[in-house]
Structure 1
Amino acid sequence: MIPYFSPELLFWGNNDLLFTLMAYHPRPFQLFSCQLPRRGPFSCVLDMIVHLTGQENEEEIKNRLQQFTQNLMTAGFKKPLFSSTVCISYVSTSVRSSVPVKYYGASVSANDGSPGKIMIAASCLSNWDDCVADAVMTYYPNKLKKLYFNGTINLPANVICRAFKISNRQNLEPCRSCGNMFGLQTRESHEWAYGNCAEAESLSNLLRNERQVKDGVLLTSGPYQQVDRNRARTEFLNELRNELLRVNFTRWNGNFYQAQRRRFR
């Protein structure tokens, strides 16, 4: 495979930065052509902003996200480089003095078609909580519900899930896809690609960190057979391989890139 944008091309005119990054973080430059990312780049940016701002400072997080994307637009970057929506999930409480922990997630920051399908599949197979991944697998890739496997869920009643548009901070109802997968109440009829919306990553972060919430998740059809889940996962993986072939990514070794933290000295 010859990548559309090699690292040298991305850092064209700034070799000092390129060589510095290669020295401190060699693995991304070694593995970019044979491993897949676990999530889109904007999810990493969102994590950084939440970490620096504090998960409780919701309005300031919205401000920073809006300013960041506006700066990208002004610089001439196209939408595929960043997400359009962010979702916030948390557990509501009747105790006034209790401040809920908020979990953020971004919509898939990739074009429709193969790039979007690849990122959704990669996130399901390597990054998202299994409850979320199973719900997405139920419909992936063509919005058609599988007849032999149903991993859709109903969340506990005290789970709040709120999405907003980054550009104008407008609140958004869950789309019909999120209603079908997670049991979220909505009046929307439009179905986005299953797994595309910010709810998937946000709810995944919540379920991964709140054990009591995950224990309260209910499968809409009751327990399923593991053999059926394995079949759905195998079809899921085969579809991912087909999408990779469509974009000429032929050197995938079956692994997903695991970032390693390393501080500059």
Structure 2
Amino acid sequence: MELSLEHHTILVDEILHSIFFLGQISTPRHSPEDIMNHDQSLLDALRHYYPGPFSCYSTQLPKRSPFSCVLDMVVLVTGQQNENEIINRLQEFIDERLRGNQLASSTICVSQRNTAEESVRYYGVSMSTSGRNPGRIIVAASCLSNWDSYVADAVMTYYPSRTRKTYFDGTIRLPKRVRCQAISLRRGTLVAPCRSCANLFGLTTNAEQVWAYGHCAEAESVSNLLKIDEEVRVQVEQPSETCTPANRQRAKASVRTELRRCLGEVGFQWNNHFYNPQV
């Protein structure tokens, strides 16, 4: 129970910072006071228990979008094996709290080493931001600070455009037995991989739609799988000869440059740190 409370505290800390940051770069800007409807007693309590988000939202970058933290909370309470219940709880939360809110993810993805019922499930949600620059900023931050390196390499291959870099191809091929299934949180129906996810992870699809790379739920879900399941990770293929350490560093530098450009456009003064939530 103590471990669960600690995890919840960290997640609340992280979600507050992420929301405050997005308010800081929105047009018009929304301060923490605006976001909390100027409820002074609530603000005082949050500042007391979670001082980090208030002191760092205007200088440090979040590593992921807010709804990813909500997902972690639901999985922690529900248990990773209860896939349908997790989806139902997220749908209820969106319907009751976030209907029409652009911070709600539209899709969840479940990844497993295989389709066996006892196989551990790893979840991810689609990018929950509003506008072009916020999405690009969070994808870049995830590549540089949060996602498994295989997923980051794959996304950096295309970021920020939808065209593959000429000097670096870090796309991967997941083992054939891996399950990677997206589900719509709006309709509750299965969602086939888009062409972008097929390009990134070698998923099978007939889709031709190319979405912005890194925005789909598959990126976070696959990253969470590869971070934990070493047996799957060692079987991942990264076949391109251009995927060298030198080219990877060049790709990272280009992502950081684009990140700084986007931050400049929204007037954010970054101190080069990514926010680490605290208990």
Report the Cα offset of residue 220 of structure 1: 2.8
Aligned residue type for 2:217: A
**Percent same amino acid among aligned pairs?**
48
Matched, 1:14 2:39: yes
Report the Cα offset of residue 11 of structure 1: 1.7
Paired with 1:11 and 1:110, the residues of 2 have a C-alpha distance of: 18
Q: What is the match of residue 103 of structure 2?
A: 81
For the structure 1 residues 120 and 226, does the alpha-carbon distance in structure 2 shift closer, same or farther, using more than 3 Å as the test?
A: same
1:55 to 75, 80, 83: 80
Paired with 1:35 and 1:126, the residues of 2 have a C-alpha distance of: 12
Is the partner of 2:165 in helix, strand or coil? Answer: coil
Paired with 1:156 and 1:57, the residues of 2 have a C-alpha distance of: 24
Paired with 1:247 and 1:83, the residues of 2 have a C-alpha distance of: 23
Pairs aligned (count): 254
Q: What is the match of residue 227 of structure 2?
A: 208
Report the Cα offset of residue 111 of structure 1: 2.2
Report the Cα offset of residue 260 of structure 1: 1.2
Verify the 8 A CA contact 1:70 1:167 in the aligned structure 2.
no
After TM superposition, list the pairs within 5 Å mapping 1:178-257 onto structure 2: 178-222=197-241, 224-249=243-268, 251-257=269-275
Q: What is the match of residue 90 of structure 1?
A: 112
Q: What is the match of residue 56 of structure 2?
A: 31
Matched, 1:147 2:166: yes
Q: What is the match of residue 100 of structure 1?
A: 119
- RMSD across aligned positions (CA): 1.6
Q: Higher mean Cα deviation, 64-73 or 43-52?
A: 64-73
Is the partner of 2:183 in helix, strand or coil? Answer: strand
Verify the 8 A CA contact 2:103 2:130 in the aligned structure 1.
no
Aligned residue type for 1:37: P
Structure 1 or 2: more helix by fraction:
2
Paired with 1:199 and 1:67, the residues of 2 have a C-alpha distance of: 22
Aligned residue type for 1:142: S
Paired with 1:110 and 1:215, the residues of 2 have a C-alpha distance of: 33
Long gaps (5+) in structure 2: 1-20
Q: What is the match of residue 260 of structure 1?
A: 278
Paired with 1:104 and 1:225, the residues of 2 have a C-alpha distance of: 29
Verify the 8 A CA contact 2:115 2:179 in the aligned structure 1.
no
Is the partner of 1:153 in helix, strand or coil? Answer: coil
Paired with 1:225 and 1:168, the residues of 2 have a C-alpha distance of: 42
2:148 to 126, 129, 151: 129
Paired with 2:174 and 2:43, the residues of 1 have a C-alpha distance of: 45
Aligned residue type for 1:82: A
Report the Cα offset of residue 110 of structure 1: 0.9
Report the Cα offset of residue 112 of structure 1: 3.9
Matched, 1:176 2:198: no
The normalised TM-score by structure 1 is 0.92
Aligned residue type for 2:95: Q
Report the Cα offset of residue 241 of structure 1: 0.4
Verify the 8 A CA contact 2:169 2:242 in the aligned structure 1.
no
